[in-house]
Structures are given as C-alpha cells and as structure tokens.
Amino acid sequence: LIINTAIQNGKLVILWSWHQDPQDWRNPAASKISRYITKGVKPGNIILLHDWNGSEFSQTSQTVEALERIMRYLYRNDYECVTVSEMLYRSIKIIPSPFDPFYQ
C-alpha cells in the first residue's frame, strides 16, 4: 500500500538489495555478518545493516564490529560507497526531489 501510494505520487521507491540482509538484528557473530555481505556483494547493491546498543546478552553490536571488515573488503575490491542519490544519478541520471515532511 505504501509503495503503491508513493509510485502514484511520482516518488521513487528505493529498497535494499534483498539478498544483502544478513539479519544482523539477530546479533550473529561479526564474522558471520561480514562473510554474508562480502560473499554476495555486487556493484549497485544497497546493504541493509542495523546499528543498535547491544542486548541483555552482549553490550556490543556485532554489526559495528563487522562493518570495519566489510568496508575493508569493499575498498580492497575497488568498490566505492556512495549515497543513494549519487548512485541513482550515476546509474540513470536521476536527481531525486528532496523529501519534505511538511508537503501536503
């Protein structure tokens, strides 16, 4: 319903790459998160990660620990991290209109 409404109103709908959700909200080990991401990454992917403050079992975020490994892998393999707006512009020359929460 939300996606259809956005499209009907001429808005772009941007989703993460479905195969790039390591389900890090379940708090797997940092090595598992980084291995999952780096194994399947492709140019243009939008990687979904969750930052949080730990849980009753752990006061550290495994995602934050995995991010250093992921970034190191991406840069060593000539990937470049960009904003979604920049990726859209580079791929199809679209400049998204700014989001205005007060627009009626």
pLDDT digits (tens, 9 = 90+) for 21-77: 788 878 889 999 999 999 989 988 888 888 765 566 666 788 888 999 999 999 999
Return the pLDDT at 11. Answer: 82
Q: Token pair of 44, please?
A: 């243009």
Q: Is the pLDDT of residue 1 over 70?
A: yes
Sign of CA dihedral 42, 21, 19, 2: negative
- DSSP helix/strand/coil, 32: helix
Return the pLDDT at 104. Answer: 45
Query: Which domains are assigned to the chain?
Result: 15-92 (3.20.20.370)
Q: What is the pTM of this model?
A: 0.69
**101 vs 14: CA distance, rounded Å:** 17
CB 61 within 8 A of CB 26: no
Q: Token pair of 12, please?
A: 């772009």
Return the pLDDT at 38. Answer: 94
